[in-house]
Amino acid sequence: MNSDIKYYLTVFWRRMPLFLAVFLSISAVAMTLAIMLPTVYTSRAKLLVESAQIPDELASSTVQVNASEQLEIIQQRLMTRTTLIEIARDLNVFEELGQMNPDQIVEQMRIKTHIKSTSGRDRATLLELAFDGRTPQISAGVVNEYVTRVLDENVRLRTSKAEDTLDFFEQEVERLGSELDLQSSRILEFQNANADALPDSLDYRLSRQTLVQERIAQIGRDVITLDDQRRRLIQVFEATGQLQSESQTQLTPEQKQLNELRDQLAAALAIYSEENPNVKVLRARVNQMEEVVRAQTVIGNTAEAEVSLLDLQLAEIDSRKAALEEQATLLEGELEKLDDSIRRTPSNSIVLDGLKRDYDNVQLQYNAAVERLSKAATGERIELLSKGQRIAIIEQATAPTVPTSPNRPLIAAGGTFGGLTVALGLILLLEMLNKSVRRPADLSKALNITPLATIPYIRTKGERLRRRSFILVALMLLAAGIPVALYLVHSFYLPIDLILTRLMERVGL
């Protein structure tokens, strides 16, 4: 047992230069990092998404955005390239800002910015903003700038959406109002163009058609009666040489004709108004015949008077017949127009119903748009007064008094312990992989013999001195070279903290 311990100690002593090289290298790197890593100060701020101050049952905002979605939108806009570069340059966030290109600035700003949001069912929606800065003032300044931009972006986002909604419905109301006016003008134009064939007056035109038809039939019968009367009158005169019996000689023909005209005028007034053309014609004839009766003298019972009386009566019959025929012509023209309007009424009714249906549809859309416009105006007012959903500051960012990183003692102690562990592990691994014969027990085990004695290799004093000097110089160069190399890399290539950050990103940490 003692020989094994002595053997392991001898092996460790022989591997001592490698042990020291690994141990010193790792320890030197850890010590250098503990000294060179810049001090980081982290400032934090907390924001709360508050619900609307006015109940939705009374008045609701037109901006219906989920709180988590709203925070995600604000976060993405906050982390845009332009915003990060602007904040970094305004606050002089990095010492090497002048030597950094825009991509590096954006990358470092995103690395040093920490955004955390929490939300859930029956839980408040919170947003935590943090930034790792090289000084407390820079860290707090960046976070406060983030908070200011978040609040401004939230207000701008909600008010712009409310204004866009209001503008949309204003345009929609204007568009539908114009369309409503257009539909009204189309209906009015159609009604004016087809005023004689509209469905509203169909009943009146049907009744009027019946009256006109009856009147035309009556005129036909009156014309036949006049023809018979004229024929009989001529027959009586040719047979007797007289026109009437003694009982009929009391009134002159003009007086009889005047009485008949008055009867016709009374019958016409029972059907038509004073403005009717037939009424006007009859009225004129009555006035004319009245003048004739007043100017006429009494005619005797001479044959010459009878002939004149016959001519007057025939002229009267012809005049009455002409008036009736003229009246029939007018009525037939009116009847033709009535027939045409009645025939066109069904198609006009279909077209008019379609126009009114379109008008009603547009009217419904217009009423709905006006109602939504009112709600949009109320929603915009709510957002302008900040009475809707909003983001409030719970905890303002302040300049930290204690740095958050790096933990220099922990880095140094961890590097030293890690170097010791790695060095011991490397020696153990090398010995486990080494299968050569190095002691009598290995020789007996390999050859199955028992040696009488073993003679180790004995170095001279000069060889030992040279070997120890080489090892000492190598260790000194190693211990001093590693910090110098890290300093040169940090100063002339890239800061150590950036290199470590990129390495951690590469390995996925």
pLDDT at residue 386 in the model: 62
**Residue 182: per-residue pLDDT:** 93
Instruction: Kindly tell me if the per-residue pLDDT of 358 is higher than 70.
Output: yes
Q: What is the dihedral angle through the alpha carbons of 271, 277, 281, 282, rounded to the nearest 10 degrees?
A: 0
- 179 falls within a domain: no
The pLDDT of residue 291: 80
Integer Cα distance of 437 and 444 in angstroms: 10
For helices 136-193 and 81-91, what crossing angle results, to 10°? 140
- What's the pLDDT at 245? 43
Lowest mean pLDDT among 144-153, 360-369, 480-489: 480-489
d(Cα 283, Cα 423) in Å, to the nearest integer? Answer: 140
pLDDT tens sequence across 232-267: 878 777 766 555 544 344 566 777 787 788 778 777
In this structure, the answer to whether residues 217 and 348 fall within a common structural domain is yes
The pLDDT value given to residue 471: 65
What percentage of the chain reaches a pLDDT higher than 70?
Answer: 72
Closest CA to 49 of 154, 148, 149, 131: 154
The count of structural domains within the chain is 3
Give the count of beta carbons closer than 10 Å to the beta carbon of residue 242. Answer: 16
How far apart are the C-alpha atoms of 140 and 399, rounded to whole Å? 5
In a domain, 461, yes or no: yes
Q: Tell whether 236 and 309 lie within a shared domain.
A: yes
**Which amino acid type is present at position 73?**
I
Q: Are 436 and 14 in contact (CB under 8 A)?
A: no
Based on the domain organization, do 119 and 227 belong to the same domain? no
Mark whether 82 and 155 lie in a shared domain: yes
Co-location of 357 and 497 in the same domain: no
> Looking at residue 437, what is its pLDDT?
60
One domain for residues 74 and 158: yes
Q: Are residues 481 and 414 in the same domain?
A: yes
**Residue of 25, 32, 15, 35 whose CA lies nearest to 419:** 25
- Residue 185 is assigned to a structural domain of this protein: no
Mean pLDDT of 355-360: 91
Whether residue 232 sits in one domain with residue 330: yes
Q: What are phi and psi of 390, to 5 degrees?
A: -145, 165
- Whether 401 is in a domain gets the answer no
Assess whether 227 and 356 both reside in one domain.
yes
Is residue 66 a part of any domain in this protein?
Answer: yes
**Residue 505, C-beta contacts closer than 8 angstroms, at least 6 positions apart:** none
- Do 69 and 25 fall into the same domain? no
pLDDT tens digit sequence for 420-469 = 888 888 878 877 776 666 666 666 666 666 666 666 656 677 766 776 67
CATH of the domain at 143: 3.30.70.1130
401 backbone φψ class: left, alpha, beta (φ>0; ψ -120 to 50): alpha
Side by side, the strands of the sheet bearing 41-50 are 113-120, 123-133, 41-50, 390-395
Predicted confidence (pLDDT) at residue 278 exceeds the cutoff of 70: yes
User: Is 183 a member of any domain?
Assistant: no
Using the predicted structure, report yes or no on whether residue 269 has a pLDDT greater than 90. Answer: no
Tokens, residue 118: 């929490």
Give the CA angle between residues 226, 228, 229 to the nearest 5°.
60
Q: Average of pLDDT values for 382-404?
A: 76
Query: What token pair was written down for 76?
Result: 């993405």
Tens-digit pLDDT profile for residues 184-193? 999 999 989 8
Q: What is the pLDDT of residue 361?
A: 93
Q: Is residue 192 part of a domain?
A: no
Least confident residue range of 57-66, 114-123, 196-205: 57-66
Claim to verify: residue 29 and residue 75 sit in the same structural domain: no
For 210, the token pair is: 């019946």
What percent of the chain stands above pLDDT 90? Answer: 12
Q: Is residue 484 a part of any domain in this protein?
A: yes
Residue 91 sits at φ, ψ, to 5 deg, of -100, 0
Nearest to 439 by CA among 29, 4, 122, 2: 4
* Judgement on whether residues 227 and 311 belong to the same structural domain of the protein: yes
Beta strands in 8-137 (DSSP E): 41-50, 113-120, 123-133
Average per-residue pLDDT for the chain: 77
Q: Which domain holds residue 127?
A: 41-169+377-395
